[in-house]
Amino acid sequence: MAADAVTGIGAMRALLAPLRHRDKTIGLVPTMGALHAGHARLIERARIDCDCVVVSIFVNPLQFDRKDDLDRYPRALDADLALCTSRGVDFAFAPTAAEMYPKAPVCTVDPGRVAEHCCGRYRPRHFTGVATVVLKLLDIVQPDVAYFGEKDAQQLAVIRRLVSDFNVPVTVIGVPTVREADGLALSSRNRHLSPAERRLAPSLYDALTDAASHVAAGMTDAEDVKRHAATRIPTDERVRLEYLEVVDPDDFQPVERIAGPVVIAGAMWVGGTRLIDNVRSSPRTTS
């Protein structure tokens, strides 16, 4: 069990090599730590599917566009390791930044058009950092299956395209978003919300579900969908809607006319905390 963290790349590979030689199925759950029930759900799915479960815990500096955001990102390694142990994780891989990037990387992954809109528009080079570190983790662990939360839908789309374009021999599984009772998607950043901000935070999910209901009811103009949904965001100086978009599920390009399945994605600031969420919807078919 994962009582201690594996910190070295060579050590991680050495621990997994005998399992791979015995044809054991290896599952990877990549995380940035500050683990919560959403991460636990990923681990539980991996535990069902795989002989060996690896959880990586690494706050990746390449995907942060602001140093203050990197510095503020919650870190709780002891609690993370305890959660991993309680969920039957075999290995927790927690390298340092110096281990992952002994030299400033010159070769990085450009995720292209999948990263042009939504979060990619507001966080320059964020998805370059995501794609680069995920490719490194997949190369280090060489899992058969990798698990990602659907809350980060654009990230999941980037990773699916990465795996396809680079012929990485791994199956990518998206696991449904875990939510609080009021709909707020679980996130490591939620702990930064004050009690008053926490009460405002579910309005993003309210707006997205409102949009999904309009799509299901037959509204086909994406601008109309977004306009109706935005009215669910409270007028409050602590709240700022960064974006609310209707996009294609595969390449995250904006949709003007809705004729099939879409992702409705949004980002919202509540105080100093940025929240993201998404829902899927399709026009209701009639027989």
Residue 109 maps to a domain = yes
Q: What's at 47, amino acid-wise?
A: R
- Mean of all residue pLDDT scores within the chain: 96
Considering the domain architecture, whether residues 199 and 104 belong to the same structural domain is answered as no
Cα 278 to Cα 114, 155, 195: the distances in Å are 16, 12, 23
Mean pLDDT value of segment 259-274: 97
Q: How confident is the model at residue 2 (pLDDT cuts 50, 70, 90)?
A: low
Q: In the prediction, which pLDDT does 65 show?
A: 86
- Cross-strand bridge partners of residue 241: 268
- Residue span of the structural domain in which 208 resides: 188-277
Is the dihedral angle over the CA atoms 175, 153, 251, 113 positive or is it negative? negative
For the chain, give the percent of residues with pLDDT over 90: 95
Residue 285 maps to a domain = no
Considering the domain architecture, whether residues 138 and 230 belong to the same structural domain is answered as no
Distance CA(207)–CA(213), nearest Å, equals: 10
Mean pLDDT value of segment 180-207: 97
- Alpha-helical (H) ranges within the chain are 9-21, 37-49, 67-72, 77-86, 97-100, 119-122, 126-141, 153-165, 195-200, 203-216, 222-230
**Number of domains comprising the chain:** 2
The residue annotated as part of the active site, out of 36, 39, 117, 126, is 39
Residue 47 maps to a domain = yes
Considering the domain architecture, whether residues 138 and 260 belong to the same structural domain is answered as no
Distance CA(147)–CA(151), nearest Å, equals: 12
Considering the domain architecture, whether residues 58 and 158 belong to the same structural domain is answered as yes
Considering the domain architecture, whether residues 145 and 207 belong to the same structural domain is answered as no
Rounded to the nearest 10 degrees, the angle between the axes of helix 9-21 and helix 126-141 is: 50
Residue 121 maps to a domain = yes
Residue 63 maps to a domain = yes
For the chain, give the percent of residues with pLDDT over 70: 98
**Residue 36 annotated in active site:** no
Residue 181 maps to a domain = no
Domain harbouring 225, CATH code = 3.30.1300.10
Is residue 63 classed as helix, strand or coil in its secondary structure?
A: helix
Question: How does pLDDT run across 11-69, given as a tens digit for each residue?
Answer: 999 999 999 999 999 999 999 999 999 999 999 999 999 999 999 999 999 999 889 99
Note the pTM of the prediction, 2 decimals. Answer: 0.95
Considering the domain architecture, whether residues 165 and 271 belong to the same structural domain is answered as no
Q: In the prediction, which pLDDT does 286 show?
A: 55
Distance CA(234)–CA(225), nearest Å, equals: 17
Domain harbouring 57, CATH code = 3.40.50.620
More confident of the two residues 286 and 269: 269
Q: In the prediction, which pLDDT does 142 show?
A: 98
What kind and span of H or E run contains 53? strand 52-57
Considering the domain architecture, whether residues 26 and 127 belong to the same structural domain is answered as yes
Question: How does pLDDT run across 95-118, given as a tens digit for each residue?
Answer: 999 999 999 999 999 999 999 999
Considering the domain architecture, whether residues 145 and 40 belong to the same structural domain is answered as yes
Residue 26 maps to a domain = yes
Considering the domain architecture, whether residues 133 and 246 belong to the same structural domain is answered as no
Distance CA(107)–CA(111), nearest Å, equals: 13
Q: Which of 175, 206, 228 is the last residue of a domain?
A: 175
Q: Taking 70 as the threshold, does the pLDDT of residue 287 lie above it?
A: no
Mean pLDDT value of segment 164-191: 97
Considering the domain architecture, whether residues 146 and 231 belong to the same structural domain is answered as no
Residue 152 maps to a domain = yes
Q: Which of 126, 143, 175 is the last residue of a domain?
A: 175
Considering the domain architecture, whether residues 242 and 144 belong to the same structural domain is answered as no
Considering the domain architecture, whether residues 10 and 101 belong to the same structural domain is answered as yes
